[in-house]
């Protein structure tokens, strides 16, 4: 549908040039037909390309359903997060407790939802912080080069020589009871890839003719970075944020599993798995449920990330 209107639009645009023999009447008609339609914005086109990936649509649906459940699930449950009921402990799934209960008799559904909430929140904050740090350092290093590039390169290499897990093991426990500090510590070790991506793209973009054209038209460095380079990076950044969310959830789960991430009373999916690992033989559902939620989140995020990468590529053709 959109493809056909676009076709006429293009044909109408080139007609007066390519085929001057066409009678003015038909010409005007074509032009009118094509141009009364409001031109499609780039965002709209990206969405059209995104839409074609069925798995990504499923991913979006799944992720939003999960996030929705995390947010409102606990509200509709008669139980509180920390509410213990020792008489009902270690139960399997039932109508009263859809996910069963843990050894202290806490409702496992509420715990899983709240854990998902925090896991997703940590991951989002981490991804956004890491991408922001990477964007700032990467674009400055790429655009100005020279000493700045060397300095940023040095920091990146230095960070790469230190295993991220080591930093997290050292600082994870200290910040484990503060979600935002934990997210920032994870971000500080994860911005490297974003910075390198941004730097590489800026290096390429700043040599492009449209940047030269902008300079020739009198634009200064601030204007060029904010108006010409950044908008060309949005796609890359969006993909990077998506993939970082997935990576951060895994990293946070790993940490929590090792007992180094979020500390009680905070609940995340990772420490739900960790706390109940001992019950794998007796009540496997307590390990499998948070594990499955992590898997579903990562899967949908990766589907979305793949489709986004496709959708935001400005050179991607609109046919097919």
Partner 1 sequence: MNSSDDLLLKVDDLSVAFKTKKGMAEAVRGISLEVSRGESLAVVGESGSGKSVSMLALLNLLPASARIQGSALLGDTQLVGLDAKSMRSIRGRRIAMIFQDPMTAFNPVYTVGRQISETIEAHGTASSSEAMRRAIDLLELVGVPEPAQRVRQYPHEFSGGMRQRAMIAMAIANSPDLLIADEPTTALDVTIQAQVLDVLKDIRAETGAAMILITHDLGVVAGSADRVQVMYGGRVFERGTVDDVFHRPENPYTRGLLASMPRLDSIGGRLEPIPGTPPSVLNMPVGCAFSPRCTYRVDRCLQEPAQLQSLRLGHDNRCHLSGQLPDLVGSAASSDPGGHNDR
In whole angstroms, the minimum distance from the beta carbon of 218 to partner 1 comes to: 4
Q: Looking at 8-16, 49-57, 102-110, 151-159, which segment touches partner 1 (CB under 8 A)? A: 8-16
Residue 282 binds partner 1, judged by CB under 8 A: no
- What the block records as the tokens of 286 is 């307590």
- SS3 percent helix, strand, coil of the chain, rounded to 5, is 75, 0, 25
d(CA 315, CA 299): 27
d(CA 315, CA 268): 40
Indicate the DSSP class of residue 276.
T
In whole angstroms, the minimum distance from the beta carbon of 75 to partner 1 comes to: 41
Residue 220 binds partner 1, judged by CB under 8 A: yes
In whole angstroms, the minimum distance from the beta carbon of 30 to partner 1 comes to: 11
Indicate the DSSP class of residue 37.
S
Nearer to partner 1, 52 or 223 (CB): 223
Nearer to partner 1, 35 or 169 (CB): 35
8 Å CB contact between 176 and 262 = yes
Residue 227 binds partner 1, judged by CB under 8 A: yes
CB atoms within 10 A of CB 95: 5
Residue 13 binds partner 1, judged by CB under 8 A: yes
Nearer to partner 1, 166 or 212 (CB): 212
8 Å CB contact between 181 and 175 = yes
Nearer to partner 1, 61 or 231 (CB): 231
Residue 316 binds partner 1, judged by CB under 8 A: no
Out of 24, 78, 218, 265, the only residue in the binding site for partner 1 (CB under 8 A) is: 218
Out of 17, 75, 87, 147, the only residue in the binding site for partner 1 (CB under 8 A) is: 17
Out of 147, 216, 222, 319, the only residue in the binding site for partner 1 (CB under 8 A) is: 216
8 Å CB contact between 30 and 15 = yes
Out of 2, 223, 264, 278, the only residue in the binding site for partner 1 (CB under 8 A) is: 223
Residue 101 bridge partners (DSSP): 107
Out of 121, 181, 214, 288, the only residue in the binding site for partner 1 (CB under 8 A) is: 214
Burial 226-264 (b: 16+ CB within 10 A, else e): eebbbebbebbbbbbbbbbbbbbbebbbebbbbebbbbe
8 Å CB contact between 254 and 270 = yes
d(CA 174, CA 168): 10
- Which residues, numbered 36-95, are part of the site for partner 1 (CB under 8 A)? 38-39, 42
Out of 84, 85, 178, 232, the only residue in the binding site for partner 1 (CB under 8 A) is: 232
Q: Point out which residues bind partner 1 (CB under 8 A).
A: 9-10, 13-14, 16-18, 31, 35, 38-39, 42, 208-210, 212-220, 223, 227-228, 231-232, 234, 314
């Amino acid at each position: 549908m959109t493809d056909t209107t676009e076709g006429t639009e293009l044909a109408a645009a080139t007609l007066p040039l390519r085929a001057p023999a066409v009678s003015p009447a038909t010409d005007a008609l074509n032009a009118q037909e094509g141009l009364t339609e409001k031109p499609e914005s780039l965002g709209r086109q990206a969405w059209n390309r995104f839409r074609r990936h069925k798995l990504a649509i499923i991913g979006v649906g799944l992720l939003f359903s999960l996030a929705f459940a995390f947010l409102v699930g606990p509200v509709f449950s008669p139980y509180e997060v920390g509410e213990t009921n020792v008489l009902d402990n270690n139960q399997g799934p039932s109508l009263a407790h859809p996910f069963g209960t843990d050894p202290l008799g806490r409702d496992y559904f509420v715990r899983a939802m709240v854990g998902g909430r925090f896991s997703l929140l940590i991951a989002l904050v981490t991804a956004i912080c890491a991408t922001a740090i990477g964007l700032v350092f990467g674009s400055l290093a790429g655009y100005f080069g020279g000493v700045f590039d060397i300095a940023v390169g040095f920091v990146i290499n230095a960070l790469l020589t230190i295993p991220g897990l080591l930093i997290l093991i050292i600082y994870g426990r200290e910040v484990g009871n503060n979600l935002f500090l934990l997210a920032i510590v994870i971000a500080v070790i994860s911005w490297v890839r974003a910075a390198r991506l941004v730097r590489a793209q800026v290096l390429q973009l700043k040599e492009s003719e449209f940047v030269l054209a902008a300079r020739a038209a009198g634009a200064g460095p601030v204007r060029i970075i904010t108006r010409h380079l950044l908008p060309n990076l949005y796609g890359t950044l969006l993909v990077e944020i998506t993939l970082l969310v997935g990576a951060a959830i895994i990293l946070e789960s790993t940490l929590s599993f090792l007992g180094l991430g979020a500390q009680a009373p905070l609940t995340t999916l990772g420490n739900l798995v960790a706390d109940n690992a001992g019950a794998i033989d007796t009540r496997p559902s307590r390990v499998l449920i948070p594990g499955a939620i992590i898997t579903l989140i990562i899967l949908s995020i990766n589907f979305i990330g793949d489709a986004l990468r496709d959708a935001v590529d400005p050179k991607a053709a609109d046919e097919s």
